[in-house]
Amino acid sequence: MTNQPNLPVVPENAALLDTVVTKHGMFSPSAGGDTSGFGGLVERFELAPAAMKPFGGWFDDVSDAIVKAAAAKGLPTESVFERVSIDRGEITFFVSPQNLRTVMQVLRDEPSLRFEMCMGVNGVHYPFETGRELHAVYPMQSVTHNRRVRVEVAVSDDNPHIPSIVDIYPGNNWHERETWDFFGIVFDGHPGLTRIEMPDDWPGHPQRKDYPLGGIDIEYKGATVPAPDKRRSYS
């Protein structure tokens, strides 16, 4: 086995990126100023658009196998994926919350797929993506076939519910708790969805982009570091 997956040749249309929003400052604060010293930073934020088949190489084999196996479990073929994107030689399958568990079961158990490892779940907050502000991203690893893919689920701020997959991939237990703790995504069916990093009574979810930059003073070796909302603003 090699250290890196055997990446396919990706078609040109999958390399194009859509500019979604322009980011100002390090954290794009909406209140209180930018205390990072990078208030003048301006950069484009880009998301990969939907890719069209053929995807290239084993990407087509994997996507076809997922659709076929999920259809055998009752999912309509055309609705297994919301969309597929390819960027920087990596493929991401976007699925709806109601299809997530079926797709994950297929990825784990289908012999032609055998993604034995889910490497956790990462939360992402896109405030500008109305109705799909919160994303849960699952990096998947097939040891058998030496392949890596991502599965991504998007939900709204108003209904941030995604089914837990802890019974399918038990190693996701703490990862789901952390994503709930920092982003507020509720993993329905989790055996104990409680905070894992922040205190139990902590208000809000501090890695969301709309979370205020305020905080508490930190003491370090006799010195006190002021909370972000008390520091000088460089904007």
Model confidence pLDDT, tens digit, residues 182-203: 999 999 999 999 999 998 988 8
Q: All domains of the chain, ordered by start, with CATH?
A: 49-193+205-230 (3.30.460.80)
141-161: average pLDDT:
97
| Mean pLDDT (the chain, rounded) | 86
Question: Which comes out higher in pLDDT, residue 3 or 155?
Answer: 155
Closest alpha carbon to 29 in 212, 193, 205, 190:
212
**Residue 60 pLDDT:** 97
**Residue 25 pLDDT:** 72
Question: Which comes out higher in pLDDT, residue 19 or 135?
Answer: 135
160-186: average pLDDT:
98
What is residue 114's DSSP assignment? -
**Residue 232 pLDDT:** 67
Tens digits of residue pLDDT in 23-81? 777 766 555 566 667 777 887 777 888 999 999 999 999 999 999 999 999 999 999 99
Task: Report pTM.
Answer: 0.83
Are 188 and 163 a contacting pair, CB within 8 Å?
yes
Are 234 and 37 a contacting pair, CB within 8 Å?
yes
Q: Are strands 134-142 and 122-125 parallel, antiparallel or unpaired?
A: antiparallel
The three-state secondary structure class of 170 is helix
- Which range in 6-10, 126-130, 216-220 is most confidently predicted, on average pLDDT? 126-130
